[in-house]
């Protein structure tokens, strides 16, 4: 196997390879760009015109997606998986991965779309680097741009594998891309309705890619992901990489559960209280009238929406950041 296919091993060891470029027998080029970043380029004669960015490890303790990208890279480096798309593999937060922690100083997935310029430290610098890597990768005109940012969640979920679809002014969410996600095993999609500061929101809004944050189960340490079944996603990614994706129809989106953001609960101060059990799962339904959270100056969040559910509840975020999202069922009529 080509040594550059061991990107995870190199990243965890904090080792820079001596050889930055290697070729498979079929002429596929692997190029090490920087820590945790590898570009894969197929021969021009077989290139399908797809630029596919696959990122994981934005949170260092979310290991199942990291192991999935490692598996795909090994298959490419051994010549078993023959790319016909340009690929960029990114391990987002190498130091947090080495420590087995979510982040070192601050959540890197809250530092995109300009936020890193207002901050400092390790994660802020890395967010800026990830933006540059993605922008350079997606710089070629006339090609299809797709980004999957792979995560696992802090807590359990009533819907285990789901996606967040970013929003940008003047663009509509694509039924065809959602049908592809359904084929990959994704059960539900949250259609966002305002700008965000995550990595996928950056590539969607600033770089024109179709981009998704994929939540793929609960975060566990390396080697303990047997309960996370990513077979359908792995096969979907192999098909995209090899240019062998079976046809999908936009009508297939009818099999997905679609949700829209009703409200975000923002933590304003250290007095913030989130009135939810510590072990509550994502997509738990909340009754109308439920007092969800309280903060300074008599601020109260009361559930008013019918069929409301909560995702990503986390009262320990920094002040000024989102502590929970209230979502409601959405209509496929919103899709392009």
**137, containing H or E segment:** helix 122-137
Backbone angles phi, psi at 315, to 5 degrees: -70, -10
SS3 117: helix
Q: Domain locations in the chain? A: 3-255, 265-334
H-helix or E-strand spanning residue 240? helix 231-242
Using alpha carbons, list the distances in angstroms from residue 221 to 74, 151, 156, 165, 240.
Answer: 20, 13, 15, 27, 28
Which two three-digit tokens encode residue 106?
Answer: 């601050």
- pLDDT at residue number 229: 84
pLDDT value of residue 81: 98
Q: Give me the CATH code for the 265-334 domain, please.
A: 2.40.50.630
Which residues are CB-contacts of 132 (< 8 A; sequence separation ≥ 6)?
none
pLDDT mean for each 10 residues of the chain (336 residues): 95 96 97 98 98 97 94 97 98 97 95 90 96 98 98 88 95 92 94 94 98 87 71 96 90 84 94 94 95 94 95 91 93 68
Give, in order, the Cα–Cα distances in Å from 84 to each of 27, 48, 49, 179, 192.
11, 6, 8, 22, 31
3-255 has CATH 3.40.50.720 classification: no
Identify the pLDDT of residue 123: 96
**What pLDDT was estimated at residue 218?**
75
The token duo for 13 is 């060891």
DSSP conformation class of 36: T
Res 138: pLDDT: 98
Query: What integer pLDDT is reported at residue 118 of this predicted model?
Result: 84
Other C-beta atoms closer than 10 Å to the C-beta of 247 total: 6
Residue numbers annotated as active site: 215
CA distance 194 to 167: 6
pLDDT given at position 333: 67
pTM: 0.93
């Amino acid at each position: 196997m080509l040594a550059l296919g061991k990107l995870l091993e190199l990243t965890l060891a904090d080792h820079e390879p001596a050889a930055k470029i290697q070729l498979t027998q079929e002429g596929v080029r692997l190029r090490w760009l920087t820590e945790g970043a590898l570009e894969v380029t197929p021969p021009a004669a077989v290139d399908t015109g797809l630029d596919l960015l696959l990122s994981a490890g934005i949170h260092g303790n979310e290991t199942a997606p990291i192991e999935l990208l490692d598996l795909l890279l090994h298959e490419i480096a051994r010549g078993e998986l023959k790319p016909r798309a340009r690929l960029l593999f990114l391990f987002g937060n190498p130091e947090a991965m080495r420590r087995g922690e979510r982040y070192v100083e601050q959540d890197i997935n809250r530092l995109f779309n300009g936020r890193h310029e207002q901050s400092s430290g390790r994660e802020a610098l890395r967010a800026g680097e990830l933006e540059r890597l993605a922008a350079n990768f997606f710089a070629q005109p006339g090609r299809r741009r797709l980004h999957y940012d792979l995560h696992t969640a802090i807590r359990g979920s009533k819907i285990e594998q789901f996606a967040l679809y970013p929003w940008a002014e003047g663009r509509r969410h694509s039924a065809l891309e959602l049908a592809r996600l359904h084929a990959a095993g994704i059960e539900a999609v949250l259609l966002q309705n305002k700008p965000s500061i995550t990595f996928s929101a950056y590539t969607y809004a600033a770089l024109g890619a179709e981009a998704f944050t994929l939540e793929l189960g609960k975060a566990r340490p390396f080697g303990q992901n047997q309960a996370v079944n990513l077979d359908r996603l792995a096969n979907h990614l192999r098909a995209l990489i090899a240019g062998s994706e079976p046809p999908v129809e936009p009508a297939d989106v009818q099999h997905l559960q679609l949700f829209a953001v009703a409200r975000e609960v923002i933590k304003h101060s250290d007095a913030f209280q989130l009135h939810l059990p510590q072990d509550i799962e994502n997509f738990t339904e909340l009754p109308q009238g439920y007092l969800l959270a309280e903060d300074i100056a008599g601020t109260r969040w009361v559930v008013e929406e019918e069929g409301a559910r909560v995702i990503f509840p986390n009262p320990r975020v920094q002040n000024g950041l989102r502590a929970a999202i209230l979502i409601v069922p959405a209509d496929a009529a919103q899709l392009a």
